[in-house]
Each structure stands twice: as C-alpha cells, then as structure tokens.
Amino acid sequence: MNNLSTTFAGLTLRNPFIVSSSGLTDTAPKCLILEEAGAGAVVLKSIFEEQIMQEHDHWYNPDNAEGDDYLSTYLRAHSLSEHIGLIEEAKRLCSIPIIASINCTTATEWAQYAGIVEQAGADALELNIMEVQTEMDYKYGDYERKHIEILEQVRRYVRLPIIVKLGMNLTNPVTLVNQLYANGAAAVVMFNRPYRPDIVIESLKFHAGEMWTRPSDIGEALRWVGICSARIPHLDYAVSGGVHDGWAAVKALLAGASAVEVCTTLFWNGSKRLAVMQEQMQQWMEEHGYDNIPTFKGRMNLNADEGDQLYGRTQFMKYFSGYKGKDQ
C-alpha cells in the first residue's frame, strides 16, 4: 500500500485529509469518530473574536492591579473555558493532531487567548481571517496589512505553528502569502468560504444562500496554490472548498498543497467518506506509479510545462467562445 503520510505546518499527518472547522468538530467524541474513520487531523469548531471580546468587555476591570492576567483568569473561570475544555478533551481522546481555530478580524487584546490555546495542548492554531471591505475611505492594502498585524500579535503569545486561512477577496495573494511566511506563518489555507446572502423575492426578505461547497469550487484554490507553491515553496499549503473525493485531493497535491480541508462531503456522506477518499487516492497513486506524496506533490504547479500560461488565464470568452448553445 502506498504511503499517504504528509507534513503540514510542521505536523506529521498520516494522510492529507483534515476535517475543517465545523459542527463536525465541536465535541471531542465527534473528533474521535473522525479519527477512527481515517482523518489525518481535525480543526476544532472556531471560537469567534467577538465572543472573546464581548466577555472581556463585560468582565474587565481596568483598575485591577493584575490586569495583565485578566483574560487568562477569566477564560479559565467562565464560559470560554468550555472551548479550552474542548481542546483538552480532544487531545486526551485523540492521537491525530488537534488544530484550534479562532475566527478573527482585528489585532487586539483577544490575541492573548492564543497563549491559552497553546497551554491547553493544541498542536497548531488556525487563524480564520476574512472580512468584507465596504468603507468609502478604505485605503488599498489595509486589509492585507491587517493579516500581518494579526499574525504578529498572535505570534507574541505562542510558539505553536500558526496556520492562516485566507478569504478570496485579495488583490494579490502571492504578495500576502510571502509576507505571512516572512512573519512566521507555518501554513496557509486557500480559501475560506464566505457567507452568501440570498433574497426571497416573494417576501422581500434576506436569507442565507447555499451553505455547501460544490466540486467546481476547487478551481480558485488550485490556481493560487499552484502559483504560490512555486513562488513561495518553503511554506505549506492546504486547499479548502470543493474537495469532495480523493481525485480532488490529488489535484490539490499536484498543484502544490500538502493537505486538504474537507467538510461538505462528510456532512453529505458521513465520516465513512474519508476511507473512500483515501482509497481513491491510493488507486490513483498505484495507477501512476507513485509510492508517496512527495513524489508527485507540486508537479502541476506554476513551474510545470505551460503552468505559467494556464494559471494566469483570466479571459473566459477567449478560451470558451467556441462553445455553442443547444439552439445554435
């Protein structure tokens, strides 16, 4: 049997399938089920910056002489300790890497919480950073600089590997990824799935749009992992969004990823899907004569023949104008 082990963010994974932060990973017993089903690692259900800061604003006393310890003390004594308990119990039950997750948009006091995550035993920390920029006085590049500021702030409190999960609303992911690498990020995940609003035209009300990914969603992540893994090869990458089978995982690894994050396909098919995806990857590797992941990882990134031309294509009509409709 071929070796599916890989390294990601300094962690050794038995296979490249990481279960992403979701309701699938919000309890330690669920994480154990995923491990037994074959997951290489899990990202615990995210805790949100606003949760931390709301609790902080309620309890913080600026006149407290021990103010430097206010967040640590509070988190251990009140409701946010539940998240710490999730990390601790998951580490107790599971042998695969446990990755904590914080959904954040600013570089403020909440970053101290990252140190407590490390103390609880998390193997790595994923910073889930995404924000829609709508201000009229927005200055180009401020959003990208915010990623660096958040990373720098968190790095002050932790030594564990930091993974940055990016949104797609970036001008030039290559420049940002290079800066993240320079400032100590261990890995980057492409891409975060944004909330998609929809409108009910009968009632004129808003509601949430499609919550699930589709296999076709993988395209943009393949593009930018393929480009970035060639330009910044010393950083690890993971593809998130649209990984529904083992063949999609193969594509991600060929583009230069070290791992993939999966979610929707597990909601649809159950945790047993992980074994199927591994079998599909094994089959492909055997058919193509690859014994392990490093032997084909990155073979189809920007450095491949025609990679520069293919990854840089933007004009849809230029390449698909020859297709005809049913009535033509």
Which carries the bigger pLDDT value, residue 195 or residue 198?
A: 198
Indicate if the pLDDT at residue 77 is higher than 60: no
In terms of Cα–Cα distance, which of 216, 208, 217, 152 is closest to 190?
A: 217
- Please tell me the distance from the alpha carbon of residue 105 to that of residue 126, in angstroms, as a whole number: 13
The pLDDT score that the predictor gives to residue 105 is: 83
Closest CA to 100 of 72, 132, 128: 128
- Domain boundaries 6-319, corresponding CATH code: 3.20.20.70
Per-residue model confidence (pLDDT) at position 47? 87
Question: What confidence tier does 208 reach under pLDDT thresholds 50, 70, 90?
Answer: confident
- Reduced to 3 states, what is the DSSP secondary structure of residue 51? helix
Neighbours of 195 (CB within 10 A): 9
Transcribe 171-212 into DSSP letters. Answer: S-HHHHHHHHHHTT--EEEE-PPPP-EEEETTTTEEEE---S
Q: Which of 19-23, 79-83, 129-133, 169-173 has the lowest mean pLDDT?
A: 79-83
Joined together, the tokens standing for residue 123 give 């193997």
CA distance 186 to 180: 9
Region 212-236: what's the mean pLDDT? 95
Give, for 260, the enclosing helix (H) or strand (E). strand 259-262
Dist CA 159 CA 246 (whole Å): 33
Q: Which of 71, 92, 112, 76 has its CA nearest to residue 29?
A: 92
In this model, does residue 324 exceed pLDDT 70? no
List, for residues 252-308, the tens digit of each pLDDT value.
999 999 999 999 999 999 999 999 999 999 999 999 999 999 999 999 999 998 777
Residue bearing the bigger pLDDT, 30 or 111: 30
What is the average pLDDT across 166-174?
A: 91
Extents of the domains making up the chain:
6-319
Percent of the chain topping pLDDT 90: 64
